[in-house]
Amino acid sequence: MSDLADLFPGFSSHHIGTPNGHIFARAGGKGEPLILVHGYPQTHAMWHKIAPELAKSFRVIVFDLRGYGWSSVVRGSENGSGYSKRAMGEDILAIAEEFGFARFNLAGHDRGGRVAYRFALDHPGRVEKLALLDIVPTCIVWDRIKAGATNYPHWPFLAGPAPEPETEIGKDPVGWQDSCLAKWAASGDLSSFDRRALNAYHAFFNEPSRIHATCEDYRAGATIDDAHDRASLAAGDTIRCPTLTLWGNNGIPGKGVSPLEAWKAFAPEITGEPIAAGHFVAEENPAETLRALKAFFA
């Protein structure tokens, strides 16, 4: 993957050791620390349209989730055991320790948003401010799926028993990946994505162990993460730091009940707004996403 375009000029590269292998991260800028977490089926490259601008005001860290991009695959993971959002949050902790951040700002999109909000619940003293892009809580999504109230067909498919989804995706990995990106974008095609970023997404996804890793991410979501959410609700745990949610006005979370209402049980003081986009707000509408994030984290 060394021949891929550098989408973060001026950012340094880091391989951060963890008990499960290494995490690949890029770092740039000066100021208060801000860690950005990507989602499925992407890599840290999804932040390339806004991270350089954020780096003018913040010390920005972008990284690849375990099993994604250039980060290590967790070996021997079954039924999501290595990919719970609590476990993936430990990689954020490793990054913070590596860079010497006692407290930091945190933003996550899609699966990265799920890692970010679980981290904020599990480590309330570490997060200054939290931004969640185009998601609602995992347990609420599963409740809506089971009630037939929302259309997330990829969730039960990807969380299905191995190797069923892996085998199906493996017939045409890049085709599957592109179909997800196009289907979840407001345009219905790939026009919002920089070809250089698509190349980065394709390079990581076109490999069986990483297809398995991303399915394990969803298997954890259907079991371990759902249980962790419900335990937090039962205990009355809430996110204690200022929290922002942004959602695409043409995305799935933006349909039906407001994402703000969906988050109230976890983050009673949450604020937010829709962005004119589909699911990939940072790539489909980087100007508005950047405006909202800069105003919130300032």
Residue 66 has pLDDT above 60, yes or no: yes
pLDDT tops 70 at residue 3: no
279: annotated active-site residue? yes
- In this prediction, residue 151 has a pLDDT band, given cuts at 50, 70 and 90, of confident
Asked whether residue 157 is domain-assigned, the answer is yes
Q: Average of pLDDT values for 111-127? A: 98
Residue 291 has pLDDT above 70, yes or no: yes
Domain count, the chain: 1
* Residue of 4 and 66 predicted with greater confidence: 66
Please check whether residue 226 lies inside any domain of the structure.
yes
- Reply yes or no on whether the pLDDT at 2 is more than 60: no
What pLDDT does residue 150 have? 85
| Amino acid 257: pLDDT | 82
- Section 238-255 average pLDDT: 95
Span 151-164, average pLDDT: 96
- What mean pLDDT comes out for the span 132-152? 94
Instruction: Tell me if 7 is assigned to some domain.
Output: no
Domain housing 78? 12-297
Residues 93-99: what's their mean pLDDT? Answer: 98
Q: What is the CATH number of the domain that holds 240?
A: 3.40.50.1820
Q: Is the pLDDT of residue 266 over 60?
A: yes
Q: Considering the chain, what percentage of its residues have pLDDT values greater than 90? A: 95
In a domain, 247, yes or no: yes
The predicted pLDDT at position 161 comes to 98
Domain contains 35: yes
Annotated catalytic, 110? yes
Question: Considering the domain boundaries, does residue 155 fall inside one?
Answer: yes
> Residues 36-57: what's their mean pLDDT?
98
Per annotation, catalytic residue among 110, 178, 225, 226: 110
Mean pLDDT of 156-169: 98
* Mean pLDDT computed over 195-205: 97
Structural domain includes residue 208: yes
**Which residues, in sequence order, are CB contacts of 105 under 8 Å at separation 6+?**
32, 33, 34, 35, 58, 127, 128, 129, 130, 131, 297
Is the model's pLDDT at 1 over the cut of 50? no
Specify the higher pLDDT residue, 34 or 256. Answer: 34
Percent residues over pLDDT 70 in the chain? 99
What is the arithmetic mean of pLDDT over 50-68?
A: 98
Q: Which two tokens stand for residue 35?
A: 């860690």
Mean pLDDT of the chain: 96
**6 part of a folded domain:** no
